[in-house]
Amino acid sequence: MEARHNQRAHYRDRLLQPRSSMAFIKVTISLMLLYFLSVTLCLAHPGFNFPWGGNGHFGGANYGLFPQFYQFSCPQVDDIVMSVLKKAIAKEPRTAASLLRLHFHDCFVQGCDASVLLDDGATIVSEKNSIPNQNSLRGFEVIDEIKAKLEEACPQTVSCADIVALAARASTVLSGGPSWELPLGRRDSKTASLSGSNNNIPPPNSTIQNLITSFKRQGLDEVDLVALSGGHTIGVARCATFKQRLYNQNGNNQPDVTLERTYYYGLKSVCPITGGDNNITPLDLASPAKFDNTYFKLILYGRGLLTSDEVLLTGNLGNTVALVKSYALNEHLFFEQFAKSMIKMGNISPLTGLNGEVRKNCRRLN
């Protein structure tokens, strides 16, 4: 009788053992899921502070940028950005180039942190007052509209710095250019730098050496320089940015000899020797609203508008000449590199984790 009882107990224990093991596995999986969910929430919502991921760090590293940053906190972010830009660009095609340029002017000054959007304030001297930006940088109202719609849908979630990056990509796509998987998660600065804006953004009359130096300072190389210059395939420039090429390129009251003659006379008709500084002309005369590789073809024909465009060919330094020719011959190659270089530029010194803030209004601090 005792033997039979022991057999039953042994059989019962064998039946219960897998259940206990299964229960343990289920608990372990649940804890792992909770762990990874908490990490996702911490990343998507920096305000969520779980005990194992506090202080804006996880595993000893700063939160990086990644494309799915708003996957749970604001999944409609791309749709909202695209819907606003479709209307804005349809109304004024020049808007696309303006927003692309805005991203560039933001990232080259203390990183991609939306400092360029800040208006003058008690502690802020706006970068909008700098020489490269004053009466030149545009698109702020479009960023404001995107921000307002995102605040309705996802309050205090999407940073202004990410909006600028998203708007640059959408503007490129809507103009016929490439798309790219955009890393997100930037936060907004609490400072601006007027001096940084004046010193770090290369002027339109830059030499090739100045351009290479300016880009190298930001961690960008010659390939990035030439590819990103290709953004000039859309948009316009004011006469003030290239007038010296028409009348006094080298301080001898003579035009720039690298300008193709027909193009030169056409520019003179738009930009007289006195006055007309705010008159505009396309950077890419052939297809000013279409994102393509025509910009590089025009440079080869002496029809690059700015000195900083033409010196990519005539500067005789590094590999820029070979790159211009490659992109002129192969639009796919240009698109591919432009996307890579935009991602690289968008990664310049972002604020992440608990650094900076997510502004409610892109023009002022919270």
Distance CA 274, CA 164 (A): 36
Distance CA 187, CA 332 (A): 33
Q: State residue 233 phi and psi, 5-degree precision.
A: -70, -15
Of the residues 45, 57, 105, 232, only one is catalytic, namely 105
Distance CA 266, CA 253 (A): 18
* Cβ-based burial of 238 (10 A; exposed 0-12, middle 13-18, buried ≥19): middle
Q: Which residues, 6 or more positions from 294, have their beta carbon under 8 angstroms from its beta carbon?
A: 233, 284, 286, 287
Distance CA 346, CA 166 (A): 10
Q: Clarify whether 232 is annotated catalytic.
A: no
Tokens of 198: 């004046």
Closest CA to 69 of 129, 158, 200: 158
Q: How far is CA 205 from CA 208, 246, 306, 324, in A?
A: 10, 12, 7, 18
Catalytic residues: 105
